[in-house]
Amino acid sequence: MVKPSYQPRLDLTDWKKTDTLEFEKILTIVAPELYSFIEEHAALSQLMDQVREGYHTELYQKALDTIGHELEHHFLYEENYILTRLANHITETEVGPIAKLKSEHNIIRKHYQEAMALFQNHDPENPSHELIQKMGLLAYLLKKHIEKEDHYLFPLFSVILTQGEKAAIAHDVHLHTTTKKE
Ligand SMILES: [Fe+2]
Ligand SMILES: [Fe+2]
């Protein structure tokens, strides 16, 4: 007897499209020094809304390029500039926000690598179900991660971090983006 192969299905019932009004409201509860993060979230979130709609070669390429860039910049800025300062207030690093945020980043990095491998070897005439599912999962994980950061973490970072720490974060991001620009 042939065993039916397992086909995981993605539950997208709680998917919420990026909306401008909500974005503007979020800015009212986030410190201006951290706005660049929220702006990047909104842009990536919009792109993930498109990825969720289905296979398109150019769109997948753009999404993977953008995610790859975010992993090298945005994700690292959060880890190196924000979490290191949050550690002044929450010293626990094995459980809690510092550990969880890093672990979510690593899960996203892993799925991105897998999506890249599937995309690089795929036939645009006949994209596999696996690739489409992986891109859908990656988009979903990013959406949920951004939602968590926008609605919980960044408003709380804004309250917990000192004015000096927030200014230092903005300074570090600015310095890195201006020196890195090609
Ligand atoms: Fe993040
Ligand atoms: Fe983020």
User: Cβ contacts of residue 18 below 8 Å, gap of 6+?
Assistant: 42, 45, 46, 49
Cβ neighbours of 101 (radius 10 Å):
20
Distance 123 CA to ligand 2 centre (A): 32
Element (H, E) at 162: none
Distance 52 CA to ligand 2 centre (A): 19
Q: Which residue type does 35 have?
A: Y
Closest CA to 45 of 158, 138, 111: 138
CATH of 33-180, one of 1.10.600.10, 1.20.120.520, 1.20.1250.10, 3.30.1280.10: 1.20.120.520
Tell me how far apart the 2 most distant CA atoms of the chain are, in Å: 67
Q: Which residue type does 88 have?
A: N
Distance 75 CA to ligand 1 centre (A): 5
pLDDT values of the chain reduced to their tens digit, one per residue, 182 residues: 444 455 556 666 777 787 888 999 999 999 999 999 999 999 999 999 999 999 999 999 999 999 999 999 999 999 999 999 999 999 999 999 999 999 999 999 999 999 999 999 999 999 999 999 999 999 999 999 999 999 999 999 999 999 999 999 999 999 998 876 54
Q: How many angstroms separate the CA atoms of 149 and 143, rounded?
A: 10
Distance 99 CA to ligand 2 centre (A): 15
DSSP string, 11-34: --TT-----HHHHHHHHTTS-GGG
Distance 161 CA to ligand 2 centre (A): 16
* Token digits of residue 5: 């192969």
Contact assessment for residue 161 and residue 86, using Cβ atoms and an 8 Å cutoff = yes
Give counts: helices (H), strands (E), the chain: 9, 0
Q: Whole-prediction pTM value?
A: 0.90
